[in-house]
Amino acid sequence: MDLAIILALDVLNGAASLFLLCVGLAIIFGMMKIINLAHGEFVMLGAYATVIATNAGMNIWVSMIIVAPLFVGLVGLLIERCLIRFLYGRLVDSMLATWGLSLLLIGLVTTIYGNTMNGVPTPLGGFQVGEYRSSWYTLFLAGMAVSVMALVYALLRFTRFGLIARAVMQNPNMAATLGVNPSRVYMITFGIGAGLTGLAGGLLAPLSGITPVMGAAFIAKCFITVVGGGATIISGTLTASGLFGLVNQLGAYFTTPVYGEVILFLSAILLIRILPQGISGRFFKGMS
């Protein structure tokens, strides 16, 4: 029984972190059709922002929940203006450019801060379930995932920006004739996506080794989740992270963490193969 609870907590943890990691990517991909290969580096930047702010004496919660998303969101805005906006409608070029961006960010952070950095301790401590230990932070992550989900849903559903954004994604030209500036909507959307990714980086900073290349560990997982989830941002990402989080943690429990990840990847590839329509290949036909 205790074991079952611990396993359930593990799965919850896996699904929640996966959702937090993916939601920014899903927004950028789902709404703008930009595959951002620098996504992992946005996570990395969020983690660095948190660690640096905390080490400079800032409260860890403030640096995780406010500093990280704000900083990465601003970086995202900057990147959208300098790079991404030239690449709309050029899917492959946008992948290549963001891959270059990913290397650039890794190189930049390495040059400034070196190959590794002391992390921050995990706050909140742990609790006992029978003979197993778990941490409150796990539950906090799940709570954050739910809040982010609610926030994104409300943003898209109930705000003027959400309505405009959805309209622009449907038909940018039509929206432009209605007096909406699509370029500005894209910019803000990219900034929000980047900010949420930075938040994920901040929240995972206490759990990860802080290195410039830490993003590489997340990137494949994120892509496969977003692709597996399909076009709908919230429900798609949520179901896919739930499913893959489950597969990952169970696989890790019954084999090793490494094989847990392998099993996750294999099942994701299988899912893409079995459910190609769920992945909305139609968005990409002919855009090569």
Partner 1 sequence: MTDARHAGLQSILVLAAATGVALLPLHLDLFALMQVTLFAAMSVLALSVAFIWGFGGILSFGQTAFFGLGGYVYAIAAINFGDSTNAILLAVVLPALFATALGYFVFYGKISDVYLGVITLTVTLILFNVVNSTAGEAYRIGIARLGGFNGIPSVPTFNMPFHPEIPLSPETSWWVTGGTLIAVYLLLRLILVSRFGRVAVAVRENETRAALLGYDTRLVKLGVFVLGGAIAGLGGALYVNWGAFVGPTIFSLSLSAEIIIWITVGGLGSLFGPIVGCFVIQWLVALIGSQQTFNSNLVLGAILVGFVLLLPKGVAPTFLLCLARLRKRYRSTTEHGSAQSTPHAGQLT
What is the DSSP-derived secondary structure letter of residue 17? H
Q: Does 89 bind partner 1 (CB under 8 A)?
A: no
Taking the C-alpha atoms of residue 130 and residue 207, their distance in angstroms, rounded to an integer, is 23
Residue among 70, 155, 231, 261 that touches partner 1 (CB under 8 A): 261
DSSP 279: G
> Per CB under 8 A, which region of 3-11, 69-77, 150-158, 280-288 contacts partner 1?
280-288
Any contact of residue 139 with partner 1 (CB under 8 A)? no
Run of H or E including 202: helix 182-204
Q: Check residue 78 for interaction with partner 1 (CB under 8 A).
A: no
- Under 8 Å between Cβ of 8 and 132: no
List the structure tokens of 93: 């070029």
What does the longest C-alpha to C-alpha distance in the chain come to? Answer: 64
User: In this chain, which of 1, 118, 170, 273 binds partner 1, going by CB under 8 A?
Assistant: 273
Q: Which of 150, 163, 176, 258 binds partner 1 (CB under 8 A)?
A: 258
C-alpha distance across the termini of the chain, in Å: 51
Tokens of 236: 């798609």
User: Measured from the CB of residue 13, what is the shortest distance to partner 1 in angstroms?
Assistant: 20
Find the binder of partner 1 among 108, 151, 154, 176 (CB under 8 A): 108
Determine the number of helices (DSSP H) and then strands (DSSP E) in the chain: 12, 2
**Which residue lies nearer to partner 1 by CB, 147 or 255?**
255
3-class DSSP assignment, residue 210: strand
Residue of the chain from 106, 144, 203, 240 that contacts partner 1 (CB under 8 A): 106
DSSP 121: P
Q: Are 142 and 16 in contact (CB under 8 A)?
A: yes
Task: Pick the binder of partner 1 from 3, 62, 92, 150 (CB under 8 A).
Answer: 92
Q: How far apart are CA 216 and CA 223, in angstroms?
A: 11
User: Binding of partner 1 at residue 105 (CB under 8 A)?
Assistant: yes
34: left (phi over 0), alpha (psi -120 to 50) or beta: beta
Cα–Cα distances (Å) from 266 to 45, 60, 79, 244, 247, in that order, read 29, 37, 33, 10, 10
Does residue 101 touch partner 1 according to CB under 8 A?
Answer: yes
Q: Is 218 in the site for partner 1 (CB under 8 A)?
A: no
Does residue 117 interact with partner 1 by CB under 8 A? Answer: no
> Measured from the CB atom, is 161 or 265 closer to partner 1?
265
* Binding of partner 1 by 28 (CB under 8 A): no
Q: Tell me the window of 3-11, 141-149, 156-164, 258-266 that interacts with partner 1 (CB under 8 A).
A: 258-266
Helix (H, G, I), strand (E, B) or coil at 83: coil
By CB under 8 A, is residue 47 in contact with partner 1? no
Please tell me whether residue 95 binds partner 1 under the rule CB under 8 A: yes
Q: How far is the CB of 79 from partner 1 (least distance, A)?
A: 10
210 binds partner 1 (CB under 8 A): no
**Residue numbers at the binding site for partner 1 (CB under 8 A):** 35, 83, 86-87, 91-93, 95-97, 99-108, 110-111, 216, 219-220, 223-224, 227, 256, 258-259, 261-262, 265-266, 268-269, 272-273, 276, 279, 281, 284-285, 287-288
